Each structure stands twice: as structure tokens, then as C-alpha cells.
Amino acid sequence: MTSATLRQFKLPDVGEGLTEGEILQWLVAVGDTVTVNQPLCEVETAKAAVELPSPYAGTVVELLFEAGTMVDVGTPIITIDTGGGAAPAAPPPPAPEPAADAEPAAGLIGGSAPGGRTAVLVGYGPRNTEAHRRPRRSGDVVAERATAPMPRADHPPLLTTAPDAGTKPVRHGGLEVGRQAEAHALHGDAATATAAPARPAAHGRGRLRPLAKPPVRKYAKDLGVDLTTVTGSGAGGVITRADVDAAVTTTAPVPAAPVIGGEQRIPIKGVRKHTAAAMVASAFTAPHVTEFLTVDVTRMMKLRQRLVLRPELADVKVSPLLFVAKALLLAARRHPMVNSSWDEAAQEIVVKDYVNLGIAAATPRGLVVPNIKDAGRLSLTELAGALADLTATAREGRTAPADMSGGTITITNVGVFGVDTGTPILNPGESAILAFGAVREMPWVHKGKVVPRQVTQLALSFDHRIIDGELGSRFLADIGALLHDPGAALAF
């Protein structure tokens, strides 16, 4: 029998200098055979959720952390036997650091990198500190993710300064949780070393954790259903919402004590933690000024109706946001100073000759602002396609960290919520952000008569260190003029 050669994979920096990440779900289980670059787990950082590929080929010996655990960069998270031996019956003691001649191939995650560092997806190398877990509610139950009600995951962009309409649940990127993700073993439970992928994971004091997705767990908890008593009808025994409903109808109602009051505590982490820190830093670093403009966009809405019928735009969404984005890009070309940043260390203003257009988007994990690279060079059709791809990817929770860095100016579309306007906070490192309000039919003076017209409100916040009142006003007025009369774009 081939002797075991144990290798441990450390959590890499999957962002830009990030120091920790949460293991959302395991995609493999103890005893599984894995290949190089096969996804091992899904990890959420302060910016996005990403899958970590395996740097080794072999057999999974031990999962060092449960799903839901916060782990510091540089901490081993999984042990793999690369020697071809069978998985041991019980988890072995922690393996020593891999020998220098046993490093994974260069260029792979965990492999060597210039300067003696460990290769990672993106960033600056691991940090050797210990992991920490979120608090448990009891000794037998793994602390569940916060799952309070929220707007649906397919909601469009959210105003950066608007408070949540409800507490948002933490979901696994909108993805199906695979059987192997729920079949991982806890430390010391030797019985799970040969567990089938669809078997529930052991937890607590030898209990089996039922297979169910976080929304179903929350639904069952609200109804008072013990999932350990429910038989799952889904693939691999996964408990569905219908199974919970069936359990309710077959269980006699139990009188509940009245709830006089209560509270819910939600861990501040991941995207929400990053967004909060960024907004505080921006609000108290850059002196914000916000200007407002009400615009008659009747002509723009009529043009939209005509463009929808054009064959070249048949496969893309021609939305009002598309026209706002195009108008902003044209106005930025005329006023390049608005597309700049403040370099405090060098005491310089950095004016960009490209526009990475950020679009604020609400996701199950919180607000993210992915950006369209070099958006100013795109045609209207290309811009429409890029907006559609950006929005779909963000709603699925699959936006890559690189797509959320390097933005130069941002649009937040609050109109999709029926909101007229707001005072948005600048994305850190940017000098301007435009809030686009709802388009409403309102009485308007047109050609000397009060008639119903399509009207919207724009709000532009800008960094007064870079953009003075005149420049900000001219920039906003140009955007308004282009939306009022799209034909004016020929003069830009």
C-alpha cells in the first residue's frame, strides 16, 4: 500500500490585500479524490465569493474548518494525501509544513512565487495568524447565518447611502449547495471519513446535520419545524421548502408563548463590513457636495421605444439607465477633471484618460460596485451588453474582485425602487457619483402649456477638493441636456 504524503492547502489572499475570508461551503468531502485545479470550496471575502482550486491531486484527508468559519489568510484549511494512499479512518494530527521539494507546481494556488512568497489568486501573500469563528448559540448547533427578510436577490442597484429596507440574508452566491458541501466532517468524527457525498454532515455530539439550504433552514426555524425529523425529497436527500410545509401539516400545532419584543444580531463581515468601512472613510475624507437637477426626459423615453425595435439591439436591454450611462460618458469626455482621483501621499490630482464606469448593485451579500472597464470606448450596443452582463453577474454573487477595483466614476440607480433622488456617498478613490431617480409622468410647462411629461431627477455628489461648484454644475447640466434631447450628443 502506498504511504500517505500529506499536504495542507493554506487560504490564499483572493482579493487585494485582504486578510480573512469565510468558508461558505465545501465542494469536496473527506475521502473524495480531487484533481489539480478542481474547486475545493467557496470562500467569501470583503468583496466577493470565489471558488478556490486545488493545487494538489490526491485524496481529501481532513477539512480543517466547518462551513461558516472565518479564516485568516495563510491558515491551512484542508489536508490532502498526494501519495495515492487511502484516507485514514480518523483525521490525522496536524501535518507539518510541506517540504521545499514538495511544493505544488509554480503558478498554481499555494505554489511558489517570486521573492519566496506563496502564489495566490490576487494580492500580496498570506498572513500567519490564527482563525477565529463566529459565536455559537449553543454547544450542539453550528451558528447559522443571518437570514432576516430582505429585498429579492434580483433587485437592481441600491443607493449607497440608503438604509436597508430589511435585513439581508447571507446566501451562498445564489448557487445550489452541492451534496458534498453538506457532507464535510467535523474534527474527531472518524465515521465521516468514508461518508457518501449525499450524507448529512455530523455535528455537535454525534448528531447528523440535515441537508437543507440556508433559506429553507430559516423557513423551518420560523415555523418551529425540527429539520432532523424531516425526510428530504430533493436530490441526495436535500430538504426542500415543500418538505417543511408537509411537516407542518402533519404536526399538531403547539401553543407558543407570546413574543413581547426581541432583537436579532447579524455578524458584520464580508461585503457589508467592507462597504461600511469604505463609506465611513469616504464620507469623512472627501468633502462632499451634492447638486440636483430635474429633467424632462420625454424625448429620451420615445427614443428608447424606437431603439427597442432595432435588430442590432434585439438581444440587449435598452433601459433608461443605458441612456444615463451614455450621457455621463459623453459629459465626462467634455469635463475630464470629474474623472479623477486625489492622491494624498503625492499631493496630486490624477486625471484618468479612461472611464471605468461603476454601477452600484444590490446583491444577497450587500452592496457592490462592479465597473465596466474603459466604458467610454464602447458603442451604445456594446455598453448595453456590458450593463446586462455586469448586473446579471452581480445578482448571482459571482462578481470577480478585479471587476470591483479600479473604478473612476459611478452611477447609482435609485429610480428602480421608486425613489426620486438622494445624496449618494462617493466610492472611495473617485471624485463623482450620479444618482438617477425614477422617471415619472408629471405636469410640466412645455411650449407655454402645462402638459404631462416624463420627468426624472438627477443628483450629483462630488469631491469639492477636485471639483468646484462651476465644474460640477456644468457637468450635471450637460448630462441633463443629453437626456432631455439625445440628439444633442451629435454636438459632443
Contact assessment for residue 370 and residue 395, using Cβ atoms and an 8 Å cutoff:
no
Global confidence as pTM: 0.55
Q: 440 or 202: whose pLDDT is higher?
A: 440
Q: Identify the band that residue 251 occupies on the pLDDT scale cut at 50, 70 and 90.
A: low
Q: Identify the band that residue 445 occupies on the pLDDT scale cut at 50, 70 and 90.
A: very high
Identify whether 243 is part of a domain. Answer: no
Identify whether 254 is part of a domain. Answer: no
199 and 275 in a common domain: no
* Least confidently predicted of 20-34, 195-209, 419-433, 449-463: 195-209
Domain boundary pick from 186, 203, 220: 203
Q: What is the pLDDT of residue 259?
A: 53
Task: Write out pLDDT tens, residues 330-350.
Answer: 999 999 999 999 999 999 999
423 and 281 in a common domain: yes
Mean pLDDT on 351-362 = 94
Q: Identify the band that residue 242 occupies on the pLDDT scale cut at 50, 70 and 90.
A: confident
Q: What is the pLDDT of residue 17?
A: 63
Active site includes 464? Answer: yes
In 3-state terms, what secondary structure has residue 245? helix
Q: What is the pLDDT of residue 2?
A: 54
Q: Identify the band that residue 19 occupies on the pLDDT scale cut at 50, 70 and 90.
A: confident
286 and 418 in a common domain: yes
Q: 366 or 392: whose pLDDT is higher?
A: 392
Q: Is the pLDDT score of 461 beyond 90?
A: yes
Mean pLDDT on 3-29 = 83
CA separation for the pair 482, 477 (Å, rounded): 9
Q: 88 or 474: whose pLDDT is higher?
A: 474
Task: Write out pLDDT tens, residues 260-285.
Answer: 678 888 787 777 777 788 888 888 88
Q: Is the pLDDT score of 78 beyond 60?
A: yes
* Least confidently predicted of 49-63, 86-100, 389-403, 442-456: 86-100
Identify whether 378 is part of a domain. Answer: yes
299 and 182 in a common domain: no
In 3-state terms, what secondary structure has residue 81? strand
Identify whether 335 is part of a domain. Answer: yes
325 and 451 in a common domain: yes
302 and 188 in a common domain: no
Mean pLDDT on 159-175 = 38
Signed CA dihedral, 22, 26, 29, 33: sign only: negative
Q: What is the pLDDT of residue 260?
A: 64
Mean pLDDT on 124-150 = 42
Mean pLDDT on 405-413 = 95
Domain boundary pick from 155, 186, 203: 203
Task: Write out pLDDT tens, residues 34-63.
Answer: 999 999 998 887 667 788 999 999 999 999
Q: Identify the band that residue 381 occupies on the pLDDT scale cut at 50, 70 and 90.
A: very high
CATH number where 32 lies: 2.40.50.100
357-359 and 409-413 strand pairing: parallel
CA separation for the pair 49, 175 (Å, rounded): 11
Identify whether 95 is part of a domain. Answer: yes
106 and 26 in a common domain: yes
Range ranked top by mean pLDDT from 157-161, 202-206, 276-280, 297-301:
297-301
Range of the domain at 29: 1-139+178-203
Q: What is the pLDDT of residue 29?
A: 93
Q: 137 or 94: whose pLDDT is higher?
A: 94
275 and 129 in a common domain: no
Identify whether 147 is part of a domain. Answer: no
Mean pLDDT on 447-459 = 97
Identify whether 11 is part of a domain. Answer: yes
Q: 400 or 109: whose pLDDT is higher?
A: 400
196 and 318 in a common domain: no
Identify whether 220 is part of a domain. Answer: no
Q: What is the pLDDT of residue 214?
A: 67
CA separation for the pair 104, 111 (Å, rounded): 5
The Cα diameter of the chain in Å comes to 93
What's 22's DSSP letter? E
Q: What is the pLDDT of residue 16?
A: 58
331 and 408 in a common domain: yes
Q: Is the pLDDT score of 156 beyond 80?
A: no
CA separation for the pair 413, 362 (Å, rounded): 10
Q: Is the pLDDT score of 28 beyond 50?
A: yes
Contact assessment for residue 66 and residue 234, using Cβ atoms and an 8 Å cutoff:
no
Number of domains in the chain: 2
Grid cell at residue 179: 451534496
Average pLDDT, the chain: 77
CATH number where 452 lies: 3.30.559.10
Mean pLDDT on 440-444 = 97
Q: Is the pLDDT score of 21 beyond 50?
A: yes
484 and 343 in a common domain: yes
Task: Write out pLDDT tens, residues 183-196.
Answer: 343 333 433 333 34
301 and 442 in a common domain: yes
Start-to-end C-alpha separation, the chain = 75
Q: Is the pLDDT score of 15 beyond 80?
A: no
CA separation for the pair 403, 405 (Å, rounded): 6
Contact assessment for residue 362 and residue 419, using Cβ atoms and an 8 Å cutoff:
no
